A and B are shown apart, each in its own frame.
Chain A
């Protein structure tokens, strides 16, 4: 028996506008609404709407035999609410089928686990509430931003009440073992970790349209054969990928939609195969061993580490300045300001400062709304400086009324 678990990550950051030193102390609007709207509409058209419809049709067609799991960041959901309500409706329609499970993550798709456990907890809670409100289900399985994971993290998340967590099925951690089983993260009591089968996942997410790949073009027949070969080497194949794979990273003309449309039929034609959601997988299978992962693992790059977000000085400097401000921001009790600060915690802001892809000339890997990593740093830095001024202003001990009156008079005399 092979259970197949499709899990899609949906996320859109709130991109910053070109905020300069001359805006500091003067302009409060950090975010590029126009650009965010434009990108959200573009991906709605190319990916979210057509793919949601395709999945809904498949779910209806296979009547309980085709299932999927999603994690949608809170910042993405907010943008759907504002810029693309029809996308939100189509996700709700998927939720109503009962064949779709939603996972927990940090609301702002942040790296908060690494810098502030308090903030992490709050963002996870916020996200959980949002999912409950929109899709009427309470997530039971957790996925951290960019699948960042280690032992300590799994233990921490267990204490928050989760029974399952997602991670990369990386050879260096697994050794000779297969990612197609459930494992128990070291130190946890009842936790199960689901590991991404990165070879099969990346065949779809990264290699699908690569004409230089010797397996191109990828047919459902070929892919099913590879997947069926997992039978005997495990019982669960986890296909984890960015949802924007469909129509945005792999364009429609690559045949990605047709591929996905035909895949369930081909896979289900093998009577040993079935589709499961993440919770069903956890319920169905026991762990076969312990997974010991000290280092921070992610699903990014060949390194599978944190270097895409925290690899250089600019990134480390910016994120430190951001979290150094946490206490003071929260002390203001100013909802709007705290929300702005939280939007800055989104991992993409740090990814845009990554030099390694940019320098290597791998333009396809360097998705950024800015010209280069240095500009990204400068914009973020300027925004931080404005935020710091506003926080200081709000946290100033309140002046006594007499002082305020004096100030007002002085101001008047001046003008």
Chain B
């Protein structure tokens, strides 16, 4: 099975979960002997330094060829981040149209190159990741006639809290419709796709993510003066509407009314960061909430390891790989029920994202009762070991066979 894969980012050219997901998937596929050629936009060294979390690619086997397309694209994952980036480059623009137009151009350029790459690269199947690459996949298929598998890691509805950018959601709709098979990373995402785009449920397969067990940072067991002095509750991710940071701050306020020695760490950046800083101050817990900005590499793991509890209050989380990362770092988790992760993780505290009281209730008890904290920690760590890269890769390979077989028979 030779796979031609179109992606938007790949370590070290990555900014978010999509890059990790593509890296993990191709690593898993490679381990079970599947050849993948990964096509992605090229990024300059300057961009890499600012955005990229470095994960060594040296231990990838030769089954994966990284093919860079010569465009001026920078690595980004969402329209929001692209917007941030454009703003920081141009300094002034606030208009969504500006970034929309630029983004459109970049995606278009990538798409137009796709058929040429497809012609050069021998393959049995085309696999595309999220809306940026869907058109590339469609055009490549037109050229080669190979089956198209469209992976959906997050819908535009997830990212925007239900206010999609019409251009992006249209691209999603086209790609998902055109695909022979759609892979969703959770039943939660599958349901969202059916609801938003009326895609035939029969052709949507669910492959839950695993996590790479080989990461040297997991065993750091890091602590610091901060974590020695106080209990720490961590939020880590983009500070955007999708991730529900305001619910975290509101819960934090309630927790401080029950627990004295506690600090809240908000790690990450995003358009809601200034509002969240204001909110913490308004609620009178400015001294209890630490905004750390984006963390990179080992620092991410250190943050998990310092924390007593990781909270993922996402409003809509297609999967939430970060929850597994926390468990791997031996830090128990509280996650929203509006997440794919909550479908597969058992040893976790779970609440609805909007239920701030329940969130505070669970945080307070975890901080106050060592028995709960220890049992949760021990069992979630144990459970995290069940997740790996082979299982999702095997399921994906089965889907490849089905797609290729389906095309031959049909």
Q: Could you tell me which A residues sit within 8 Å of B by CB distance?
A: 20-22, 312-314, 316-318, 355, 358-359, 361, 371-375, 377-378, 381-382
B374 within 8 A of A: yes
Residues of B within 8 A of A313 (CB): 370-372, 374-375
Name B338-373 residues within 8 Å CB distance of A.
346-347, 349-350, 357-358, 360-362, 364-365, 369-372
- The segment out of B10-18, B150-158, B194-202, B376-384 that lies at the interface is B376-384
Instruction: Check if B357 sits within 8 Å of A358, measured CB to CB.
Output: no
Cα separation A377 to B347 with both chains bound (whole Å): 13
B170 within 8 A of A: no
- Judged by DSSP, the binding face of B is helix
Residues of B within 8 A of A317 (CB): 369-372
Instruction: Check if B372 sits within 8 Å of A371, measured CB to CB.
Output: no
Q: Which of A21, A318, A373 contacts B364 (CB 8 A)?
A: A21
Residues of A within 8 A of B347 (CB): 355, 359, 372, 374
* A377 touching B379 in the complex, CB below 8 Å, given contacts A21-B258, A21-B364: no
Number of A-B contacts defined by CB within 8 Å: 64
The 6 A-B pairs with the shortest beta carbon distances in the complex, nearest first, are A317-B371, A313-B371, A20-B361, A378-B365, A314-B371, A21-B361
Instruction: Check if B365 sits within 8 Å of A314, measured CB to CB.
Output: no
- Shortest CB-to-CB span from A260 to chain B, Å, is 36
* A377 touching B374 in the complex, CB below 8 Å, given contacts A359-B379, A361-B346: no
Cα separation A313 to B372 with both chains bound (whole Å): 7
Residues of B within 8 A of A21 (CB): 258, 360-361, 364-365
* A378 touching B371 in the complex, CB below 8 Å, given contacts A359-B383, A372-B346: no
* A378 touching B350 in the complex, CB below 8 Å, given contacts A21-B360, A21-B364, A359-B383: no
Instruction: Check if B376 sits within 8 Å of A374, measured CB to CB.
Output: yes
Interface size on B, residues (CB 8 A): 22
Instruction: Check if A381 sits within 8 Å of B375, measured CB to CB.
Output: no
Against A, the Cβ 8 Å flags (1 = close, 0 = not) of B191-232 are 000000000000000000000000000000000000000000
Cα separation A75 to B371 with both chains bound (whole Å): 28
A-B contact pairs, 29 of them (CB 8 A): A20-B358, A20-B361, A21-B364, A21-B365, A22-B357, A22-B360, A312-B371, A312-B375, A313-B370, A314-B375, A318-B371, A355-B347, A358-B346, A359-B347, A359-B382, A361-B346, A371-B350, A372-B346, A373-B375, A374-B347, A374-B349, A374-B376, A377-B369, A377-B372, A378-B362, A381-B365, A381-B369, A381-B372, A382-B365
Instruction: Check if B372 sits within 8 Å of A378, measured CB to CB.
Output: yes
Cα separation A381 to B370 with both chains bound (whole Å): 12
Residues of B within 8 A of A20 (CB): 357-358, 361
Instruction: Check if A382 sits within 8 Å of B372, measured CB to CB.
Output: no
Q: Which of B360, B365, B383 contacts A377 (CB 8 A)?
A: B365
Cα separation A52 to B348 with both chains bound (whole Å): 42
**In this complex, what residue of B is CB-closest to A22?**
B357
- Shortest CB-to-CB span from A357 to chain B, Å, is 11
Instruction: Check if A377 sits within 8 Å of B371, measured CB to CB.
Output: yes
Residues of B within 8 A of A382 (CB): 361, 365
Cα separation A378 to B376 with both chains bound (whole Å): 12
**In this complex, what residue of A is CB-closest to B379?**
A355
Instruction: Check if B365 sits within 8 Å of A359, measured CB to CB.
Output: no
Cα separation A189 to B370 with both chains bound (whole Å): 45
- Shortest CB-to-CB span from B379 to chain A, Å, is 5
